[in-house]
Amino acid sequence: MDTRGPLCVGIDPHGSLLTAWGLGDDLASLERFTRTTVEALADRVAVLKPQSAFFERFGSRGVAVLEKAVEEARAAGALVLMDAKRGDIGSTMEAYAQTYLDKDSPLFSDAVTVSPYLGFGSLRPALDAAAVSGAGVFVLALTSNPEGAEVQRVTAADGRPLAQVMLDHIAAENRGAPVLGSVGAVVGATLGDAGVDLAVHGPLLAPGIGAQGATPADLPGVFGAAVGNVVPSVSRGVLRHGPGVAALREAAERFTAEVRTAVATAPDTR
């Protein structure tokens, strides 16, 4: 982020974007969309975030496209954050960890999104695998969808919102880490005032910028003193400018500049 700018761009090849690019909703179009996005952005943005579901819907051949995208994006210097939102228990969570956080896996990524709402302890296989491989984990805390509040804002037995319980677990995992810890939180940029303590000493992935209505200027209001640790995420706001490589790059550069401006006067809490 210090070198390339504070921006994460999603790779979300859903049907409407494929259509907007003049492509069909088929495997060849998926491959072209993904290859163009990686070519345009992987050597200049800090983070690329493929949404695995849009590749999985094409079966094994779609997953093969995803594997290639991960490989090429990392080779070009981008960090790859796999947006998989996996969450399970025991051996199943261990299998998810091996899929995304084992260096021998074809889907090995620099980080993966996970859901803690089977209990934070259920994430232990992913946390341990990330520590071994030098990767990271982004834990869903307060998501940008309005339905999330019925779970994430529920009050725990000790009076804390459930999201705060998860944030406190993240902070404990990161305690003692230099700069930022490798366990991040997902906190939606659309929330207005998050209303929780975001001092987790880790990165804060902020989806919701662009098509979901949030702007870079909203970030200080949501994240307060922690805004310097935010990884703002935009997908359609950049991708809708395709299929031209130059236009994709220009859109990403504009968002990066806007984010830099929004956080320029914020304190560095790292």
- CA–CA dist 133, 185 (Å, integer): 19
Q: Is 126 helix (H, G, I), strand (E, B) or coil?
A: helix
Question: Which one from 49, 68, 85, 103 is the annotated catalytic residue?
Answer: 85
Q: Which of 73, 134, 76 is nearest to 103 (CA)?
A: 134
Q: Is 85 a catalytic residue?
A: yes
- CA–CA dist 201, 185 (Å, integer): 10
Supply 139's token pair.
Answer: 């834990």
Residues 6+ apart with CB under 8 A from 101: 108, 109, 112, 126, 129, 130, 132, 133, 135, 137
Q: ω into residue 216 within 30 of 0, thus cis? A: no
- CA–CA dist 208, 205 (Å, integer): 10
Helix (H) or strand (E) holding 141: strand 136-142
* Contact of 66 with 55, CB cutoff 8 Å: yes
Active site residues: 85
